Amino acid sequence: MGKVTHELLSLISKQIQDHGIVVWYDPEGVYQNLVRDLSLHETTILTYSGSFLELRWQLEPFLEFVDEEGKINSNPDVPPKVLIYVPMSPSETYHAFVEVEKAGVVMAPGASPWQRNTRLRVIAERVFKKIAPPEQVKEIVSDVEAGKLALEDLDQLAHADEEISTLKLIFDTTVPKELALKFLCQEELDPKIAEKDALPELGRLFQSEFGISVSTGGSMEKVRAEFAQSLLLAELAIKVEEGWDATGQLSSIPVPQNQQQRKNLLDLCDTWRNRLDLREKYASFAYAVEKEGGLKALEIDPSSFKEAETFAFVEYALLAWAEDLVLKDNAQDALDIAERRQRTFWLEFEPELQLRWRTVEHSARLLLAAKRVEGELKKVGANSETLIKAYCTGLSLDETEDPFPWCLLDRYHRHLEYYFSKIEQPPGKDPSSLERMVFHVRRRYAEVVNRCATALAEALESSGFEVPGVLHQREIFGKFVSPSLDEGKTAYILVDALRYEMGLELIEGLKDEFKVEIKPVVAQLPTITEVGMAALMPHADEGMELLEVKSGKVGVKVGSTVLKDRKSRVSCFQSLLPDTVVLKLGNIVRPSPKHKEAVKKARMVLVTSQEIDHLGETMEDEDEARRLMEEVRDKLRRGIRQLAALGVKKMTVVADHGHLFLERPDEGMKLDPPGGKTVDLHPRVWIGRGGSDSPGCLRVAARKVGLEGDLELVFPPGIACFKARGPDRGYLHGGISFQELLTPVVLIESIETAEVHEKTSVKVEMTRPKITTRLFTVRVTYKGGGVFDQPVRKVKVMAWANRAQVGEAIAVEYGDPQEIPLERGKPNVVTIQLYEDVECTRVSIRVLDAKTHVELGALKDI
């Protein structure tokens, strides 16, 4: 008999002994199994089985011992010891046993005094308080109230707890989960276990608590390995069972049938994985069991693994499945899987997995976006204003869907390429499933971008290259920059090749600190630096002339000044606005005392950034170029914050043009240039006079696009290119496409905020004790420090050694790796990559405030 049952029957027996007749109401029927086989000493047990009349008839022989006043006769021949069990509430019986109740007592859930209260929760709590720690008692009581534990389960648990108390001498705990974890991970306790001959007790504990049967006759190492193997395989079988394994390959693995044991087993495995001090041991057992069991060879539908994370092979199987889904254009299912795998054990333990899942995620998002854009493109028609609105803000074409900005297609592609560039591919092998997936998605992206570019060129041609309702590049200085000068210190930030969608992402990290607004801008054709930068100068709205300045180059005449390079543009700007300090982006990210003083004294700050265009046009390693381009956004944010700190009230961020960044163009997409008199030739635009065009090309006089002069422009169709001198590159601009033509104007205004100085607590933990590769992960948690702390804190996480940065965050569990959001109390797992040329034996992890770069937390000398 179990302890809980014994406690209950002791109460009932005492009431029968004291009062003779006991009417026991059980409204929820929780004790029906017990009563079915119940036998009490010298006591008759009567049970209601559907008829009150029948039960009353069974009671008649005992009622002769009751007098007219309802009291027991003082000298009966046979003492009436009767238990009447009624599995319902008194009200449901229409008080059929009122006179019997009067003669005896009533026991029921909630009855008073407590000795007559049969509520299972109350009895269980009373029993377990004597044998289990408070935290376990609380959990058990909660499970009883939720209906998860029956009387039989409680008896089983109580029996286990009785043995646990003897194990406390060895393990210093009575919590079964902690006992199991210490046995699995603390081999230094083996001598004590052997001394107390405690293996048999541990075996009984594993069986009763987790439903795991192990042979305890062997060595300690053998028992430990068997328990770990049985535990991990059982968890996998349960998870695969939940995922509907049709093959039944895991059906022979023993798993507990008792639901509480299953719950305990799953909780044990989950805790083992998530404890930072135990996960190395977990991984070593998991790798060993996976290898010895040949689990990689299992022919199980990967969809069965969706809830599992027991073994590393599960993660790789799901990745391969998701990559295959993307290859088959089943993007939504692939995205669902990728989102569900954002935080699993193996992503922390093998950081490259996080990069692969991010690549899958953005591949799936790109395919879904491509389908949406392609579908909407067919409905929009050849209207340039509508097309640009669709690209920048989205259209309401279907009441069931929110507007979808087409520019998100470019963001997903950029992120996909960034994460893919971070993954080190094994040399000399056939393309992996990951590579095949990326190649497929790249082709799909290029197809849709090509269709959009063709539609945009046709729309612009039909509208005479006029786009009513959309800002033109020539208008920016007069509309936004010049008026700002009357309101205080102003900064004009010219970013070469910043696309509209990149501007959107730029402001996402500034909205909490500044008043920010972004507007789409139509760049001046052709979309090359000489033209676009000139269009951003003062008085450009009064007229621009495109002319030849030297062989193979063009310039732009604004007023009486010919602008052909940065030097001439800066000189022109300063001649028109003498109180101007000119700086490069790097000068404002970490301004020297000299530059700080110059900004404070100046009325206008002109900042130029050529990083994106320079990287795209000069770097042979395009993967490296993509990685470095992502850093420009972070530098811009940091520079903007520095300018605000130096007293700049308003800032305007603009670009000369955008860019395409595709795979290197195939020879089949390269067209012969028109010939004739070539003044300037780029892969995406020919500038000159005369010649003949390849089929599909668009020829337009410079005057037609708003530039004076007698030069002509020829644009290749879609995203095709002309054959031009120089190396083949996937980075392109000069032509007509959303990506090249649409740029942002970002209007930033500093706002006064009261500084609150409170201590902020940020905890940094390694997910593994040592750094063994260039990729590793840390867990960062923001705990706050006072009542004024924000619910979300943005930080930068980096690796340092020898007083220099040696690594950076490249992926995070949630948010942007460049400015990582930390939600209070919610850990964020950060993947860090050390730079290739790092030579050090120890590194430190620093967590800095994204805005002030004040250190908020650190992990030293790893």
**pLDDT of 600-621, one tens digit each?**
999 999 999 999 999 999 998 9
The verdict on 351 and 458 lying in the same domain is: yes
Burial degree of 498 (CB within 10 A; 0-12, 13-18, 19+): buried
pLDDT at position 161: 59
Terminal CA-CA length for the chain? 55
pLDDT band at 538 (very low <50, low <70, confident <90, very high): very high
Q: What is the pLDDT of residues 68-124, one digit of tens each?
A: 555 555 555 555 889 999 999 888 887 788 878 887 899 999 998 999 999 999 999
- Give the lowest-confidence range in 74-83, 184-193, 852-861: 74-83
Residues 201, 167 within the same domain: yes
Query: Same structural domain for residues 380 and 457?
Result: yes
Residue range 498-505: mean pLDDT, rounded: 97
- 334 and 407 in a single domain? The answer is yes
Instruction: Say whether both 205 and 276 belong to one domain.
Output: yes
Q: What is the pLDDT of residue 166?
A: 61
Residues 799-814, mean pLDDT to the nearest whole number = 91
Say if residue 499's pLDDT is above 70: yes
For residue 449, being part of any structural domain is answered with yes
Burial label for 68, CB within 10 Å (0-12, 13-18, 19+), is exposed
Residue 301 lies inside a defined structural domain of this protein: no
Q: How would you class 471 by CB atoms within 10 Å of its CB: exposed for 0-12, middle for 13-18, buried for 19 or more? A: middle
Same domain, 705 and 846: no
Q: What is the mean pLDDT of residues 331-335?
A: 97
pLDDT at 836: 83
Per-residue pLDDT tens for 121-141?
999 999 988 877 787 788 889
Classify residue 305: in a domain, yes or no: no
Domain assignment present for residue 312? The answer is: no
- Range scoring the smallest mean pLDDT among 161-165, 254-258, 748-752: 161-165
The distance of Cα 426 from the centroid of its chain, to the nearest Å, equals 27
Residue 50 lies in a domain: yes
What's the confidence (pLDDT) of residue 196? Answer: 84
Boundary residue ending a domain (95, 118, 141) = 118
Nearest CA to 274 out of 265, 282, 264, 284 is that of 282
As a whole number, mean pLDDT of residues 333-345 equals 94
Residue 76, pLDDT score = 54
Q: Is the pLDDT of residue 785 over 90?
A: no
Distances (CA, A) of 701 to 550, 707, 781: 20, 9, 59
702 contacts: CB under 8 Å, gap ≥ 6 = 546, 708, 709, 710, 711, 712, 713
Mean pLDDT of 395-415: 93
Residue the block writes with tokens 């422009």: 713
Q: Are residues 776 and 634 part of one domain? A: no
Is the domain of 499 the same as that of 644?
yes
Domain match, 570 and 622 both = yes
Global pTM exceeds 0.85: no
Q: pLDDT band at residue 770, thresholds of 50, 70 and 90?
A: confident
Report the C-alpha gap between 811 and 806 in whole angstroms: 16
Task: List, in order, residues 6 or more apart from 146 with CB less than 8 Å away.
Answer: none
Residue 313 is assigned to a structural domain of this protein: no
Structure confidence at residue 795 (pLDDT): 92
Quick one: which of 375, 377, 409, 378 has its CA closest to 390? 377
Q: Assign 252 a pLDDT band (cuts: 50, 70, 90).
A: confident
Last-in-domain residue among 91, 118, 145: 118
pLDDT interval class at 435 (50, 70, 90): very high
Report yes or no: 149 and 136 within 8 Å, Cβ to Cβ: no
Q: Decide if pLDDT at 357 tops 80.
A: yes
Residue 302 lies in a domain: no
Give the end of a domain, one of 94, 118, 142.
118
Q: Residue 50 — very low, low, confident or very high, per pLDDT cuts 50/70/90? A: confident
Q: Check whether residue 148 and residue 289 sit in a common domain.
A: yes
Tally of domains within the chain: 6
Average pLDDT of every residue of the chain: 90
What CATH number is given to the structural domain containing 831?
2.60.40.10
Give the pLDDT confidence score for residue 614 in this predicted structure: 95
Domain-embedded: residue 336: yes
Split at pLDDT 50, 70, 90, the class of 790 is confident
Q: For the chain, give the longest Cα–Cα distance.
A: 132
CA 231 to chain centre: 29
Q: Rounded distance, CA 44 to CA 79, Å?
A: 11
Q: How far apart are CA 846 and CA 853, in angstroms?
A: 10
| pLDDT, position 400 | 81
Reading the block at residue 161, the tokens are 């707890």
Residues 58, 114 within the same domain: yes
- Tell the residue number behind the tokens 């309702």, with chain if given: 469
What 3-state DSSP class applies to 835?
coil
**Three-point CA angle 770, 771, 772, nearest 5°:** 105
Same-domain pairing of 492 and 593:
yes
pLDDT digit string (tens) for 367-402? 999 999 999 999 998 899 999 999 999 998 887 889
Domain that holds residue 492: 471-661+743-750
Which residue in this structure is represented by tokens 């390269």? Answer: 670
Pairwise CA distance, residues 350 & 6, whole Å: 51
**pLDDT bracket for residue 780 (50, 70, 90):** very high
Please report, rounded to a whole number, the percentage of residues in the chain having pLDDT higher than 70.
Answer: 94
CA–CA dist 81, 65 (Å, integer): 11
Which amino acid is it at 241? E
